[in-house]
Structure 1
Amino acid sequence: MGCRQSNIVHPVNKTKKQEVNDEGGTIDDTDIAQPNTYSDDDIIISKFLSLKDRINIQVADSQAFNKSFIHQRQQAVNNTLYRKTIESWKPNSLQQLVQMIKSLSNGKSRIDQHWIIFYWIAHNIAYDTVSYFTKNYADQSAEGVFRTKKGVCAGYANIYKYLCDQLQMLCEVVSGYAKGYGFDYREGAPTETDHAWNAVEIDGHWYLIESTWGAGHLNDSKAFERKFNGYYFLARPNEMIYDHLPKDEKWQLLERSIKMDEYMQMPKLHPSYFELNLELINPYNRAHVDLLPDRPYALVLIRVPSDVQLMADLKLNGKEIEGADRVIFDRQKQIYCCYFAPSNIGKHKITVYGKRNDSESSTYSSALELVMNVKKIPIPHISYPHTWQSFYDFGLKVIAPKDRANAVWNDNGSYAEILMEGPDDVQLSCDIQYNDVKIKNGSLAQFNNDKKIWQLLFAPERTG
């Protein structure tokens, strides 16, 4: 494929000659790579990278996110005293809560005052899953939400506005369309608004507040999972537009209004996409990705900072497809090449995850989602072995099996074989496991000096 460090070998011309290696086994020349059939992927990648007609979505108010604002916002978010104080509150009434907020907010900036409201709501109000799934909505007024400590998006927006009103801070409830739980690119554009959030005025500038998503999300079990996310506190409008489209265009707060058709075509980008400074090169500003022409795979290109790592998966009907994805970092171009090889027809979901190298956590956060609609089974079908970053750091290449995630059995079925190439100063070892237990004497790594190829042999003790 096109990435310079891809090390992926594609269907090649084959010969039938066999030669004896140094250890007495055989290496079949049919397993040794010939010229790459898909070598012109580099041309395709270069074309994607050279596109100049890029859409630039800009905030209408160029002074809204000035350095002073960004600094004050981050100070409020990082203020642990605010958090501890708010978490200790046990108000018995909405009026008592207002007094607590006023007391803590006294003499503080508008940004701090909004943060206090945002954090209390996100920390204390749970999403009302019963109302959401039954469509039998409970009282979504500020009083009703405070009393039950539950609400749907309208309830979150209403109590936020109520609390702002008590502090004489301008706040509006914004109705619109969101790419939240249950959103499906395949269902077409919604005909009725399905979400609500807030717009607030601070020092003559308008900003967006999304306390519902700041509190957590619905998981695959249809349960509310509380997971605080400060990203949605005064989020940038040119980022929010990817999953929040106001019914009234003025609340987009953008230089150029986004219409419904364009909104539905835009990819679903998560907070980590922006926090990690990712740039989706292909598909550009589209939610859908297609197989490359005359290829059994799709290609997603993402430009990243040098301290970011990505991984990805491909799902069909909610199930991850084993061996269907390969993510490769091209150091020269500073891009990730993400390959996806479906094995069946259907509307697949691509998810790309990211993390910073210096992060203390080993967890990757979902950064973006794309849809791939496969209407015809790709031929030839290929799959990818699982690799780690060290595979590329060491400059390794899998010679055989080609385009397969499984090792190949020899002719008599006594062992499976993997052939690999690597630099002269790299040594390989291997093992085979069953139920996470290493099989003693079940593997052998040997180097063929004539072919300059590593032969990795595996002899399982049982089926499975």
Structure 2
Amino acid sequence: MGESFDRFLRDTLNIPEYGSERARQSESTPIESPDASRENGDQAHPVAADSDEKRAADFSLSDNPENRADNLRFRNGVPDPRAVDALGRYSPLFQSDMDEGIEGLAEYLRTADDDPMVQARLLHDVLALHLSYDYRGFRSGNVPTQNPISVLRRGTAVCQGYADSFSYIGRKMGLNVITVSGYARGIGSGSFAREDPSESNHAWNVLTVKGSRYIIDVTWDSDDYSTDYLFLYPEQAIYSRLPSRPGYQFLAEKISTSEFTNLPFIRGAYFDIYSTVPSNLGRVMQLRDYSSFALPGVSDYGFSAHWVDSAGVRSRNGIFIEADSEETRVYLAPESEGEQTLQIFAKSGTTPESRFIMELGIIAARVEHILLPELYSGYYEGSARLLSDPAMDMRSDERKTLRIHIPGAEDAFVSLQGSRRITMSRSDNHVFSADIPCAPGIQIFAKLESASRYTGIIGY
């Protein structure tokens, strides 16, 4: 049954047989997946190229940023209730009447909203909720057929199945969408890991609306549902993937494989906070002394970070991050030398957990003379912000003026090694300051308006 059933599926879906002349022609057309990718044994079944001349014209290899929709409108991390309803209506038919299930689903999603961006978001949610990643097949190398009908019936897929299912149903909905394959920084990737972008290991989708391109990766948004990889702009998606064909980068200036390998590891969640990545950041950077770098400014976000050494041991020491509307400044004073990965997390007031947004490889020298503060819970509860240089230079015999804004505090004091207490002066706008010696064992405590006792703010 297997061979005849696969042939039936290919004929039904108009999918060219892998390796056939028609498949090779399909791979060479500029409106289809550039090549048949493999993901540890995942053989591609490219969705057939639409021969419509308008689709070919729309998929000239360019982008039109002027017509872009604000992608943050759709990246809220919560499934659309209409997608949940659609799954309840049509997923049972994937087992009994596949044609009716797919046609009904496509029509339901198409008529749910006039905006093709909303329609694509609904399809993203349906597939992210219905499909689970086939880890067993991926790890064993025995990946079953990935054509859309088999994937939807089975409920599991690897990247090619996710992407081709999105293209297949999306085209039935009238969406201008293709499947693209190439290299992606997925499982096993890291700042110090070997990377060969010439090897195709992943597949994803590109949606075109009014000439603007939006990258969609349902694979990476499924299982633990997210919208981290929904509607990324080309200049955002390039940090996590490199298409096999340079034209599918959709960038005004294409980048080479060597340029890609030097880009920092930026997660999709980063672009919920920042729209761009500073050009001075690289995948691996040398750090010879106490240093800092800046990300764009942002409000209403708190940040945390830790080091991960070559043995996988984590440490939060020697990192301090301060953010305001003008910039997010990351201060670094590593306590050990050698190769370390800096992982940065962000949390907004509306999300229950911190989200992993980026990592940098750091080849560090040990910085013994600098202490950076540890932030206590009161720092966040009191909406505090350190105004003075956070570094405490242990080589200095001079005193240091600590200045900190704690809008929710009545008064504050400095504890010196637990044996001496210095009251901090307070300005009218709740800026507290004190002159202190440069020494370890220093802590700031404040009495917040919401608390009956003093709360720890920061410590050295």
Query: Is TM (by shorter chain) over 0.5?
Result: yes
Q: Which amino acid aligns with 2:354?
A: Y
d(CA) in 2 for partners of 1:386, 1:73? 35
Partner of 1:363: 353
Distance 1:398 1:252, change over 3 A: closer
TM-score (norm 2): 0.65
Partner of 1:446: 421
Of residues 276, 280, 284, the one that matches 2:280 is 284
Distance 1:197 1:395, change over 3 A: closer
Alignment of 1:21-60 (within 5 A): 60=62
Q: Which amino acid aligns with 2:165?
A: I
Matched, 1:91 2:105: no
Of residues 297, 304, 307, the one that matches 1:304 is 297
Distance 1:128 1:344, change over 3 A: same
Unaligned runs of at least 5 residues, structure 1: 1-58, 216-225, 404-418, 433-442, 459-464
Give how far 1:391 is off.
10
Partner of 2:363: 373
d(CA) in 1 for partners of 2:218, 2:314? 31
Q: Percent identity?
A: 18
d(CA) in 2 for partners of 1:152, 1:263? 24
Distance 1:307 1:340, change over 3 A: same
TM-score (norm 1): 0.64
Give how far 1:208 is off.
2.4
Matched, 1:258 2:255: yes
Give how far 1:202 is off.
3.6
Give how far 1:301 is off.
2.2
d(CA) in 2 for partners of 1:183, 1:363? 23
Of residues 131, 135, 148, the one that matches 1:129 is 135
d(CA) in 1 for partners of 2:403, 2:209? 59
Q: Which moved more, 1:124-133 or 1:420-429?
A: 420-429
Q: Deviations over 1:22-51 (max 9, x none)?
A: xxxxxxxxxxxxxxxxxxxxxxxxxxxxxx
d(CA) in 2 for partners of 1:430, 1:85? 58
Q: Deviations over 1:322-364 (max 9, x none)?
A: 42322245x696341321414132x2111122233xx233532
d(CA) in 1 for partners of 2:383, 2:73? 41
d(CA) in 2 for partners of 1:333, 1:204? 32
Give how far 1:312 is off.
1.6
Secondary structure of the equivalent of 2:295? strand
Q: Deviations over 1:63-100 (max 9, x none)?
A: 5643xx44896499988441341342332323243133
Of residues 319, 323, 326, the one that matches 2:317 is 323
The alignment yields a C-alpha RMSD, in angstroms, of: 4.0
Secondary structure of the equivalent of 1:289? strand
Q: Which moved more, 1:259-268 or 1:154-163?
A: 154-163
Distance 1:168 1:315, change over 3 A: same
Partner of 2:109: 105
Give how far 1:398 is off.
8.8
Partner of 1:25: none
What is the count of residue pairs matched by the alignment? 352
Partner of 2:217: 210
Secondary structure of the equivalent of 2:167? helix
Unaligned runs of at least 5 residues, structure 2: 1-60, 405-409, 425-433, 444-460
Give how far 1:243 is off.
0.7
Q: Which amino acid aligns with 2:245?
A: D
Distance 1:336 1:448, change over 3 A: closer
Distance 1:379 1:161, change over 3 A: closer
**Does the aligned pair in 2 maintain the 1:265–1:285 contact within 8 Å?**
no
- Higher relative CO (Cα under 8 Å, sequence separation at least 6) belongs to 1
Partner of 2:54: none
Alignment of 1:162-173 (within 5 A): 162-173=168-179
Matched, 1:116 2:91: no
d(CA) in 1 for partners of 2:412, 2:273? 35
Give how far 1:191 is off.
3.6
Partner of 1:16: none
Secondary structure of the equivalent of 1:184? coil
d(CA) in 1 for partners of 2:237, 2:274? 15
Give how far 1:126 is off.
0.8
Partner of 1:428: 413
